[in-house]
Chain A
Amino acid sequence: MNMMKNTIADRVADFIKNFPPFDLLDKDQLLDISKEVKIKYLDKENVIYNINDPLHDQFYMIYKGAVKLKKYINEKLETIDQFDEGDVFGLRPLFAKENYAITSITEEETILYCIPIEMFHPFIDHNKDVRQYLIESFASNTENPFSNEFQKKLLEDDVKLDFTKDMFEMQPVRLIKNVITTKQSSTIKDAAKLMSDNNVGSIIIEEKECPIGIITDKDLRLHVATGNYSISDNVSKIMNHPVMCYKKNITIAQAQITMMKHKINQIVVTKDGTPNTKILGVFSEHDIIVMKGTNPSVLMKAIKRSNSTKELKRIREKIMMLLEGYIQQNIPLTHINNIIFELNDATIKRVIERCVEKMDQAPPVKFAWMSIGSQGRKEQLLHTDQDNAIVFENTDDDHLEEVRTYFLSLAKKVNKRLKIIGFEFCPSEMMAKNPKYCLSIDEWENQFSAWTRETEEEELLLCSTFFDFDNTYGDQALITQLTEHIIEITKGNLIFQSKLGACSLRNPSPLGFFRQFLVEQDGEHKDHFDLKKRAIMPITDAGRLLALHYQIININNTAERFEKLAELMPEDQELYYSCAYASKALLKFRTKHGLRHHNSGRFIALAELSKEEKMKLKRCFKAVAKVQELVKLKFNLKNFI
């Protein structure tokens, strides 16, 4: 069939496809949208819409130029954000009914692509990624990203993703892309030979890359081995057709049901889910079994059963695969975090358990193995260093060193094995095998008291690691006692609190960073960005300080600390929720980058960031800046920044 050509719409599509959310759409969808775009030229300092203007029936993408968003802050119209080529804005009509809440003005001569809301709605309704991107984008451009309106939208999305019970079943299948195929004209013998050469249980008969039939081991048994057909017959004689085809992103649950329903053990995935388009890959029952190997509950069982460090190391590699899969599928971080933490925690527990068994005698007194720092905060997703300590029951002075020797030798075994499994040694020796951190409960209490009484540089660093401890193995009563001690010594200790506050303000929020980056294109900012120092540490420190200040005990996780703070102080709820969000988003961001580059994810190359990533970071930095402002006021640190 001959087609009408639309070069102009093609040209528009060529531009929009480079930027989110349009990069998430396929060619036909892009063209459909492009055909409805209107192009508008605006001079410098031209208002696109004003606060309280009725909503437009279109949203905007900048083709050329720049736009600033303004809002009244303390009765003054201030610029809250700036956009340039490829950015989308004016998203309010997509999500809300009230008039515009901000003003948008061109900063220079600007050409806008105007995208009609009505025709774009289906893409929001049907494409989760597009919806998520636009909601995030919208939320990051309003002063109030955590108002109920958006919270609901975000939650709705989370509900769809929250398959807490049986996550595995809801994962999309991992396609086998190297599909073994043959032509309709080949013989059964040739097909069977191809199958056995490639060690597969089925073969697809293909014509112009579309699947027209499929032959499985069963068909060979049923039709050939019985003598009904000869091996020199054409494959078309025995092939099953039409082929059951599905679209990409079919979940394991769907795949399993389909296989059962149609009594097949192989699913063919094509471009549009029909046999009339290109084969993208296949997926068989066997592949589900392989995938189950990286299912958290299977891994958990394997950890608990494991009897060698080597085995635990192998399991840990699978945990990393699982993590990578979760991150790729964009599963909510809280969820990922809980699962990975539990698996890591179980691994460490199993190691300690085995080492205790290996010791010549049972522990002389009760003890607890504490994970400190990021593992203590449940924020350790990638391999980072092992930070840990031991606390044991008080004993009389005569036996103290003897008891310590016992626990030191236990710790040495555990630390060594954890290293083999993949938890590197802590460079500052904050490990249980260090005699400084293998102490009785009295010794710990005295140490903590000393750190908070006379607090210098080193003590601040120690507090920020050791105050976030979590019981990994052993006696909970010891841990509880230690927690209560910290609350007691820091309660009302404003000098210590303000020192901790000052420490948390040491790295000012990098807000405005990208703006500079955008302007100084050939500049000095081409360097890497220290995500840990400039964003994660400030927000973690602020969380710890505020938790101490408000005597929130037994919560070490930064996001959970802020969520608790939001609950306790409704007047600052918005800010605390935004911090909780930011700490999760930053951790996810770091994990993603770490996985991508096989490192800790701490240093980020700016040039590598997508627009979407920059936008997310920007939003997190806003939260960092605000909580720092709050710390400054609360702990009277006005002169600090």
Chain B
Amino acid sequence: MKWLFNKNEKNYPDYWLQYNAHFSEPKLTDINSSTYVVLDTETTGFNYDKDRILCIGAVKIIDGYIDISTAFEIYIKQDYFNEKTVEIHGLIKNERIQTVSEEEAVVLFLDYIEDAILVAHHAFYDLTMINKAMERLELPELKNQVLDTMFIYKATRPNTTGLESKKKYTLDELAEHYDIDLSDRHNASGDALITAIAFIRSVHFLVKNKNYTLKDLFNCK
């Protein structure tokens, strides 16, 4: 039983060690100067154990700019096929998109995110899927701080008591509220961009109207 052995860090691959090194020093945290990686994943389904990541899309926010040159988009080869896989497989085949193995995807992803703050809508889901992939590679979980646009958006809403407080806002609702073009909805990269714009606008609102700090953002529940 693996977890009984306190695994020596030296047994981890280099890419993990490099990733891990980013966290050796505590970092200065400021809402404006932090680097955020806004991401979305597409998966074969909703079962954390059985299903797999098909695609990861992400883009960085650096100094308040969504920087398109940092766009990250990888498609992962699948051994397991279902309806969703077939659909995305068609896309990969038709557009001749390069695919990578699950491990290659993790290597690229860790190298990309470094110690940035991860942002996603319903972040728990995406992060769990990624951590499950890491687990299969016998790696520890991601070490990055995480923000969920669902909770951040919720904090911008007037009534957060009663029924409203239990409401789960979808990305579509955010997009509608902020008048964001939905043309790439349900494509990981497209959703990442929508999430990034919604994130910036929600945070801006909270800083301006409620004097939010980064710490307050992490406390959004």
Contact = CB atoms under 8 A, between A and B. Distances in A.
A3 B98 CA distance: 5
B69 A36 contact: yes
Interface stretch (A5-13, A124-132, A334-342, A564-572): A5-13
A3 B74 CA distance: 11
B68 A7 contact: no
Contacts of B107: none
B96 A1 contact: yes
A417 B183 CA distance: 61
A4 interface: yes
Interface in B97-149: 97-99
Which interface class (under 10, 10 to 19, 20 to 34, 35 or more) fits B? 20 to 34
B111 to A, nearest CB: 15
Chain A contact surface mostly: mixed
A34 interface: yes
A40 B64 contact: yes
Interface string B4-35: 00000000000000000000000000000000
A239 to B, nearest CB: 31
Interface in B53-73: 57, 59, 64-69, 71, 73
A7 B189 contact: yes
Nearest to B194: A11
Contacts of A9: 68, 71
B155 interface: no
B175 interface: no
Chain B contact surface mostly: mixed
Contact of A8 (B97, B189, B208): B189
A4 B68 contact: no
A156 interface: no
Interface in A1-40: 1-9, 11-12, 14-15, 34-40
Contact of B204 (A3, A7, A37, A41): A41
B44 to A, nearest CB: 19
Interface residues of A, number: 26
Given A8-B59, A12-B68, A64-B179, A2 B96 contact: yes
A111 interface: yes
A530 interface: no
Nearest to A4: B98
Contact of B190 (A8, A35, A39, A111): A8
A317 interface: no
A39 B197 contact: yes
Pick from A11, A35, A64 the residue with the most CB of B within 10 Å.
A11
A3 B97 CA distance: 5
A7 B97 CA distance: 12
A34 B68 contact: yes
B76 interface: no
A43 interface: yes
A41 B73 contact: no
B164 interface: no
A624 interface: no
A15 B193 CA distance: 14
Given A39-B66, A111-B197, 13 more contacts: A2-B98, A5-B75, A5-B95, A5-B189, A6-B71, A6-B189, A8-B68, A8-B193, A9-B71, A11-B183, A34-B68, A40-B66, A41-B204
Interface of B: 57, 59, 64-69, 71, 73, 75, 95-99, 179, 181, 183-184, 187-190, 192-193, 196-197, 200-201, 204, 208
